[in-house]
Structure 1
Amino acid sequence: MNETDVNNTLLKLKSNANSVVYDTLVLIRKKILQTECGVKLIRERRALEDLVNILHKPNEKILDVTLSILGNCCLEHESRVEVANYGIAAPLVAVLHNINRDSIQCRACRLVGNLAQNYNLALELHEKGVISGLVVAADVGENSIATRQMAVRALRMLWSVQSQRSNMLELNAVHKVAKLLATPYESKEERELLNAVIKALVVFSYQCSEHCARQICERGSDLHSLLSLVDQVHLKDSIIICISNLCHNANARLILGIANAVRIVVKELTGHNFNTLATTDVCSALVSTLCLFSRESVNRAKIRRAGGLPIILAIYRDSPVDIYKSRALHALAHFIYDEISLQELLKEGLVEVLISRLNDFVKVKGKVHSVIPPESRPNAKRSRTHQHSHKSENDDMDDSSNFRINKEECDDSGNWKATKRFRLSSPSFVAVQKENWSREKGSPISPSSLEFKHTGSMLDHTSSPSRWSDSLTADWSPSNLSCQMSPDSPPPYKTWALSAASPPHDMMSGASSPLSHSSTDCDWPEMYSPVCHDASSDEELEEGIHEEEKAEEPANSDKCDSRSSSPELQPVSTVCENVNAGSDQSLILNLLSRVSHMETPVEDLAVHNTLITLLDYITLTQNPLPRAARVLRRIVRNHNYFLKILTHQFVLSVHSRLCQPIHQHCVQCDKLDDIGRSLLTQVILVSSSGYGEGELSHHMLKSDMAVRRMLAVTIPYIVKKPRLLKRFLLEYRGLDILQELLCQKRTEEATLMEHIPDSLSMLAASLKISPPQLNTAHEDETCSGGFSPYDGASEEPDDGLSLILDDGSKVSTNKNLLCLCSPVFDAMLQGSFMESSQQSVRLQHVSYSCVVHLLYIMRLGRVPHCLPGLNLSTAMELLVTLDKFLVPGCDQLAELIIRQFLKPKTVSCMYQHMSEMGNLIYCNYIRTRTVEFILAAEITSKDRLNIFNELTETVYPHQALEDVFHLLQEKLLSPN
């Protein structure tokens, strides 16, 4: 048709003759609409207004064709906008309500669906009451399959108006659509209807409320019909997404579980390679659904029986997608009270996986802490003191699975006092809480309406959520009370919709876990389930589903809404999920804590990787959760892990990493020291028991040399009784093994050898070896009076004598003084020797400073507490000189040398000089005191290790080790 013919044809729509209008409408549909620009021509000639006006005519034949033409025209956005301006909503709704002819109903529903793609038009249609007409059209009755299909499509499109969803639910629109699942689907038309129904249910279930979920799930037969279709390839993805959406509702999860949805999800995930699992809608929906099913105990049992536990663990272990990992971890946390499931998870390597993830966290977040001075934390010292005063009580409480409240407060004197601790399950405590709450509110309260939620260290009580029916209010799992999600709150997981304009939002919450940092005293949160609330998203949900979709009518060559055999799912948009790392580490530690409470031993808890990772977490993480230390305490005090702890060098690692502060006056170092000493105390208690004594004895006698070496180094740390030390170190040759290790210096034992100096120091402390006194509180007046021994050294006395030294220097002195103070000088100068007649006497192998100090001591008549200007070399030379000339005061000078010069930097040098001087009694005395200093002085582990290294590098390495071990052996053999 040319342009003139088109214009003439369209003008006939204004005719008053129904036959002319009908013929014109048929011609428009057959001729004009078949052209490529037919709709555009109709719109440009303003014929849409005439078509809208025709809707007011009661002629069914005319209405049938008019609705067909308008339906095709309104596939385009411009046409929808134009007919909206002409007020199409009111006459269209009137047609839908008043004319029961099936073809008119079908085309009217199709037109409503096309118009509803415009949000404002959809809102207007709602306001005109279109939903009630669509619900009637969708009902299984005299309407054809095509009519029901168009009605379902229209309802799906109108669901985009979020403010009208409650009205649609009141009219049972969702329920009417869900009922269509129960009808047979054999013909092609029936299968197309099925596609439309499932597509609509996916949209309805997207972030659906409790009311909506109930309309989909309350008829078990409908739900069974939906799940039975999952085997059809072209429907599987949509059904899985629908199930995933429904799973965000707690009551829907129960019904889905009864309908065997758990087994379907597990079956679909079985065989997946989670290392390469793509982030598609279906894969993410399956993971989310499986994790959500773990919230109820009845579904957890189904997951276990269906073989879903290894899948959840595999997702957490292997998946490269952080979102999947977080969901899987939260799912695992729900099995924390399921003993059977925990046992199965442990067989699959639960502890290894948790430790691996905790290790990853430490690698990313861990670093050595900076110094935290006590003045920056005014309460740090007071809190630490309080912690020490209650350490034994806390350790006893730690093993209990009962919950407690621990509140600390100050008394009038400023000291900390602890209030009474209660079990949260205690009937008396619950009664008091209810009474207080009732008194505050001024109204009575029923026992069933009180719910405790854990928020830090406080208890909040809120009314328990309402339930659907008596059949669903049964306490399937105690976690239902805390996991219930309100209908208006968005779910914490992603829900799904087939929409291009409104992609599904990922709703994983970033809110902190209820296992918060403030829960320092309770090993379990005050609730049944460790994940107790559904967190809401930070983003608002976008309104509406603005889908540009073309549809074709099922008959008469009209265009209608059709769907291919394989539904196209909108790919997941890139959404950054706010995963709370603090919450994840809390859940990991909570699971490990639960495992450590198990009666049967778990071997993976006592392996090297587990122990060291927990230590890394405590030492390298800023503000580590205290549960990690409690897990370690339970591990070390369990007899079943005793030997493994020792052989994995855990005791040595604790002492070197926790009990050796890296900063002075640091609050964090003090905390680590407290933890370390607490752990070592627990090991000491086990080793002191009959079991520990027997284990150590057996392995010191029967095990291979590697184990015996490890035990020999570790025993001084954990055994404090002299009787046991004598047995292990002397009778079982533990001391010989330590000496051999230090002498051999084997490369493969380098790490172990680094701990031997501290081990010997711990042994010395147990044997009560005291270090020499090094204080200089009582100094002689010559040290503070400014007098020097060199003063008067060159004075010419009346009975003068010059002492000529090796360097040619002369020192003038008094002969009588020398003879009076030294028998050797007296014999030399007063006897028959030639020196008696000489005015100058040569002294060999004596330095000038040594002679000056010697003369000063002679004039003073004693060795003072301090000799000014004396250095270590001169002091040791002076000691030999005093002994050589038999001058009294060697013992005092030896004490002065020890008191004034014995330090970590000089001890090895002092020992070497004393060894070179031979077996003089005072040299041996100083050498013994240096050994005592090395073993018992309060010096750092690094200094002590350096001293041992220096001693073994001297010309007397074996002599030094002999002295060290001889002293220890004597103490071990002494009766005291």
Structure 2
Amino acid sequence: ARAKMAAAKPTFTDSLSLCLAQLAAAAGEGLSGERDSATNETPLSRALFLLRTRHIKAAGGIERFRARGGLRPLLALLRQAAAAGPAPSQAGPGSAPSSDASAAASDPTPSSDSAPSGGSSAPSQPVRLRKTLDLALSILANCCTEGACRAEVRRLGGILPLVTIFQCVKTDSIQNRTARALGNLAMEPESCGDIHSAGAVPLLVESLTACQDSQCLQSVVRALRNLADSPQHRLALAQQGAVRPLAELLATAPDSSLTSALVRALLELSRGCSRACAEQLSLGGGLGPLVSLASHPKRAVREATILILANLCAQGLVRPALGNAGGVEVLLDELRRRRGPAGASPASQQPLVRAVCLLCREAINRARLRDAGGLELLMGLLRDPRASAWHPRVVAALVGFLYDTGALGRLQALGLVPLLAGQLCGEAGDEDEEGREAASWDFPEERTPERAEAGSFRSLRSWLVSEGYAAGPGEISPDWSPEHCPPPEPVEPVSPTPGPPSLRTPSTQRTPSTLRYIVVGRNPVTSPEEPWGREGPALLLLSRFSQAPDPSGALVTSPALCGLLAYVTGAPGPPNPRALRILARLTCNPACLEAFVRSYGAALLRAWLVLGVAPDDWPAPRARPTRRIQHRELGEMLLQNLSVQAESPFGVGALTHLLLSGSPEDRVACALTLPFICRKPSLWRRLLLDQGGLRVLLTALTRPAPHPLFLFFAADSLSCLQGLVSPTVSPALPPVRPLDLEPPSPCLYKPLLGPAPIPAPDLYFLLDSGLQLPAQRAAAATASPFFRALLCGSFAEAQMDLVPLRGLSPSAAWPILHHLHGCRGCGAALGPVPPPGHPLVGSEAEEALEAAGRFLLPGLEEELEEAVGRIYLGPHGGPESVGEVFRLGRPRLAAYCARWTLGPGQCPRKRALALVGLVEAAGEEAGPLTEALLAVVMGNELGTKVPA
């Protein structure tokens, strides 16, 4: 009973204060202490045991322990253990027994964390010290899970003792708890740097190969993972050999927990993967296990493994081996899954997109990628507007397939060409440079030791300096290669200097053949004077497509041509010459002629380059870079190339076939294009005039437009054809003087309106408004058969002095009365015509025209029509007035509108806007418009009077 009461009674070490007091006392006396005969353990062991199992684990226990100053004596104990030299260790699995541990092995007492029974002999001194160290390290590791304690431990200098203990004590339990404490401390950036400086990394790496305990290995692996908190620390870990043992352990991991820890550590170490990291992971045989773990049932392991594989792709030296291990298929499948309907966000796809693009740099991986459906996946990325930031990277990756005919054919069938054309003027996107180490491993970089400078290199360096390609010998190292040499600046011509025979060039050519850029991952072979901007990969692929025997199906299309022309005319600086060569190559290829006709390509070239009107500029103009002279010269050159093809025997046959036997759309396109590319009169007269091509074009004006710029093209084509038919005669309206400066003809009707009219009127016309207008019966009867029959015949009006004129307003009747009394050009015809901007249909001008026809006054009709033409189609009129005039439905006015529209001096934009207005005004009645335009183009009505 007394024994039970003694057991239930709390000892003096149960409270936190007494435990801390015992800890402080032990820190002053050392690790040894008197053993309590009742419990067979030292007071220090009892205090540490209670701290670990009761006080630290309680809610807020760690904070109270730190606030009461428990870390200082705890670290003092550990510092004493570290200063004592190699501590005795108990032989355990994977541990090398020390001399002290061998001595302790003779002691039959087992080493257990729990106190042995009272009947056992007391544990030996080394075993008791190991137990004390175990408890102290466990308490410290638990405390370091909180940030305030980590900062306090670092301030008290607790890192170095831990590193020393880890170096000296090789017992698994000690190593486990020490590594755990170091891993917790490494969660603070400052502590992480101190741990690196203390030399803990080599010790942790050594423990990976010496230790066999899974728990200890997990703690070491976690510590290494936390130490990889920055690019500099990751590089330091890789350079100190931390990656290879992790990779080797991955293949022999005894349990899933260790596997998970290894994968997490390798993921952290492979961020921004360095060359050393990739080399060690490959040499450690980690690629195969990683590929296998990509299908691990645990999601966290699976996703971390896939990210490791993606990170490794940044190093060219490991990509072939990664492909051999099956990494290409794994990354493609994962990217395909994430892009599926239930896939992840674009941010999670980014590392996989980057990895797949990097895999395209080696031929062996390109073959695997092509066979695994990677081309379709990359094309899907290019079509996805949400992936626009990655488009430049994807296009640069596709450059790797430049000489893979099968892959190029597949890409063309998938619609790559219009996507490439759209990339020429796109946004910058994700185009960051990968660096030298991401270069293609198909051409490994050869490094020359600095001390080995052969005579040939010295000769080359001397020649480069003398030619001005380098300022001095120090700028060129033996590792120099053309891919690292920037484009040489232009220098003044000098006489060639003796040098290597292969580099001698005439003085007029300053770029030796060896100073050409070489493909390193993305940059193709291109001369240094040729720019390589973000549009370079797309242009290179387009150039490759344009070299096919018949590139018309892919490149001579509206989207492709628009992309090329938008780049050529919209580039902030001089465009890449490759784009100009592509356009020249296409226009010189006979196989492309029909495609240029069908797609309105020739008309597009003329509108965009020669006239300066792009699809985006129509109908509202937009500001663009002004290099009109260069663009016009380029357009004329390209159209001349097409003319050469069109006037060849092959071209004549092709155009004749299109016009006579093609589809209705082809016939219209051919008729519209012929004036641009045919200059031989015999050819265009036969096709357009004799075989009806012109009428086909005119008939199509009022149909649905087959192209957004169709009416612009048609107006320009008709104008060009008019110039071909009548090159020396201008049917345009002659320049007119302002109306107020023209001397009017004398008015013969005005004397009848005064208070004393001479001669006196013998007749009055009564309007519906009640207004009475004086007139002379004889003059009215002489001017018009209508009035002669009305006023001098058998009608009742012949006997009336007040004759009613129905349906006439005063303004419409005014020019009629003037005309009846002999006025010609007195200005009365201008009265009923409203100013420009007002509708003519329903106006008093239309009323006057209708009345002139009703009263059989053709001269007045012509005068009124001339007045309408002068006001609406003169200097103050615009293209919007043309349709308004045409709506009056009078043939003479229709001819005026056609002549105003097709005048050779007319602005192309105004001409097209006028034709749009004419087509809208004509509606379904296309006959009058067709005949008017046909007459103007053919010059059949040049002798008619023009409003002037």
Same fold (TM over 0.5): yes
- For the aligned residue pairs, the C-alpha RMSD in angstroms reads 5.6
Contact 1:334 1:530 in 2 (8 A): no
Q: 3-state DSSP class of the match of 1:231?
A: coil
Quickly say closer, same or farther: Cα 1:359–1:930, change in 2 above 3 A. Answer: closer
Contact 2:338 2:349 in 1 (8 A): no
- Is 2:674 the partner of 1:715? yes
Q: 3-state DSSP class of the match of 1:233?
A: coil
1:39 to 32, 53, 62: 62
Quickly say closer, same or farther: Cα 1:30–1:644, change in 2 above 3 A. Answer: same
Query: Structure 2 matches for 1:221-236, cutoff 5 A?
Result: 221-234=285-298, 235-236=301-302
Measure the CA separation in 2 of the matches of 1:261 and 1:123: 34
1:203 to 255, 258, 268: 268
2:48 to 13, 20, 25: 25
Contact 2:901 2:915 in 1 (8 A): no
Shift of 1:719: 1.2
- Is 2:601 the partner of 1:650? yes
Partner of 2:906: 939
Measure the CA separation in 2 of the matches of 1:954 and 1:171: 85
Contact 1:741 1:753 in 2 (8 A): no
Partner of 1:878: none
Provide, for residues 391-431 of structure 1, a one-character-per-residue CA deviation record: whole Å limited to 9, x for no partner.
xxxxxxxxxxxxxxxxxxxxxxxxxxxxxxxxxxxxxx999
- Is 2:127 the partner of 1:104? no
Shift of 1:68: 1.9
Measure the CA separation in 2 of the matches of 1:803 and 1:910: 39
Partner of 1:552: none
Measure the CA separation in 2 of the matches of 1:170 and 1:275: 42
- Is 2:751 the partner of 1:682? no
Query: Structure 2 matches for 1:805-820, cutoff 5 A?
Result: none
Contact 1:614 1:628 in 2 (8 A): yes
Q: 3-state DSSP class of the match of 1:192?
A: helix
- Is 2:440 the partner of 1:440? no
Shift of 1:803: 13
Contact 1:434 1:445 in 2 (8 A): no
Measure the CA separation in 2 of the matches of 1:315 and 1:435: 49
Contact 2:732 2:903 in 1 (8 A): no
Q: Output the amino acid matched with 2:597.
A: L
Query: Structure 2 matches for 1:486-565, cutoff 5 A?
Result: 526=528
Measure the CA separation in 2 of the matches of 1:290 and 1:236: 18
Measure the CA separation in 1 of the matches of 2:269 and 2:891: 94
Quickly say closer, same or farther: Cα 1:589–1:454, change in 2 above 3 A. Answer: farther
Measure the CA separation in 1 of the matches of 2:319 and 2:712: 58
1:725 to 666, 681, 684: 684
Q: 3-state DSSP class of the match of 2:14?
A: helix
Partner of 1:241: 307
Shift of 1:646: 1.6
- Is 2:728 the partner of 1:766? no
Measure the CA separation in 1 of the matches of 2:271 and 2:931: 82
Partner of 1:605: 555
Measure the CA separation in 2 of the matches of 1:87 and 1:910: 96
Contact 1:277 1:319 in 2 (8 A): no
Partner of 2:693: 734
Measure the CA separation in 2 of the matches of 1:529 and 1:338: 25
Contact 2:699 2:930 in 1 (8 A): no
Partner of 1:696: 655
Contact 1:438 1:444 in 2 (8 A): no
Q: 3-state DSSP class of the match of 2:148?
A: helix
1:157 to 215, 226, 232: 226
Listed as ranges, the gaps of 5+ residues in structure 1 are 363-428, 461-477, 485-513, 516-522, 532-582, 792-801, 810-842, 853-883, 885-897, 918-926, 971-976
Shift of 1:712: 2.3
- Is 2:591 the partner of 1:640? yes
Shift of 1:261: 1.6
Quickly say closer, same or farther: Cα 1:304–1:448, change in 2 above 3 A. Answer: farther
- Is 2:135 the partner of 1:69? no
Measure the CA separation in 1 of the matches of 2:689 and 2:65: 109
Shift of 1:265: 0.9
Partner of 1:216: 281
Max Rg structure: 2
- Is 2:240 the partner of 1:171? yes
Measure the CA separation in 2 of the matches of 1:273 and 1:712: 47
Q: 3-state DSSP class of the match of 2:286?
A: helix
2:165 to 86, 95, 107: 95
Measure the CA separation in 2 of the matches of 1:620 and 1:243: 41
Contact 1:661 1:669 in 2 (8 A): yes
Measure the CA separation in 1 of the matches of 2:896 and 2:386: 61
Shift of 1:676: 3.7
Contact 1:612 1:650 in 2 (8 A): no
Q: 3-state DSSP class of the match of 1:122?
A: helix
Partner of 2:257: 192
Partner of 1:411: none
Quickly say closer, same or farther: Cα 1:151–1:844, change in 2 above 3 A. Answer: closer
Measure the CA separation in 2 of the matches of 1:762 and 1:956: 21
- Is 2:334 the partner of 1:268? yes
Measure the CA separation in 1 of the matches of 2:655 and 2:66: 96
Quickly say closer, same or farther: Cα 1:637–1:963, change in 2 above 3 A. Answer: same
> When the two structures are superposed, what TM-score results if normalisation uses the length of structure 2?
0.61
Contact 2:688 2:694 in 1 (8 A): yes
Partner of 2:349: 283
> When the two structures are superposed, what TM-score results if normalisation uses the length of structure 1?
0.60
Q: Output the amino acid matched with 2:276.
A: H
Shift of 1:173: 2.4
Q: Output the amino acid matched with 1:5.
A: D
- Is 2:309 the partner of 1:252? no
Quickly say closer, same or farther: Cα 1:847–1:529, change in 2 above 3 A. Answer: closer
- Is 2:546 the partner of 1:596? yes
Partner of 2:415: 349
- Is 2:348 the partner of 1:317? no
Listed as ranges, the gaps of 5+ residues in structure 2 are 1-9, 36-41, 82-86, 88-128, 429-459, 492-515, 614-620, 748-757, 764-773, 777-817, 828-858, 860-868, 943-948
Shift of 1:310: 0.9
Contact 1:617 1:624 in 2 (8 A): no
Q: Output the amino acid matched with 2:241.
A: N
| Number of residue pairs aligned between Structure 1 and Structure 2 | 704
Q: Output the amino acid matched with 2:70.
A: A
Contact 2:603 2:673 in 1 (8 A): yes
Q: 3-state DSSP class of the match of 1:221?
A: coil
Measure the CA separation in 1 of the matches of 2:461 and 2:653: 47
Quickly say closer, same or farther: Cα 1:361–1:206, change in 2 above 3 A. Answer: closer
Q: 3-state DSSP class of the match of 2:906?
A: coil
Q: Output the amino acid matched with 1:449.
A: W
Q: 3-state DSSP class of the match of 2:294?
A: helix
Shift of 1:789: 9.5
Q: Output the amino acid matched with 1:710.
A: A
Q: Output the amino acid matched with 2:188.
A: N
Measure the CA separation in 1 of the matches of 2:622 and 2:247: 71
Partner of 1:831: none
Q: 3-state DSSP class of the match of 1:36?
A: coil
Quickly say closer, same or farther: Cα 1:458–1:271, change in 2 above 3 A. Answer: farther
Provide, for residues 889-941 of structure 1, a one-character-per-residue CA deviation record: whole Å limited to 9, x for no partner.
xxxxxxxxx9xx997979999999xx999xxxxxxxxx999999986743234
Measure the CA separation in 1 of the matches of 2:633 and 2:419: 29
Measure the CA separation in 1 of the matches of 2:414 and 2:591: 21
Contact 1:636 1:682 in 2 (8 A): yes
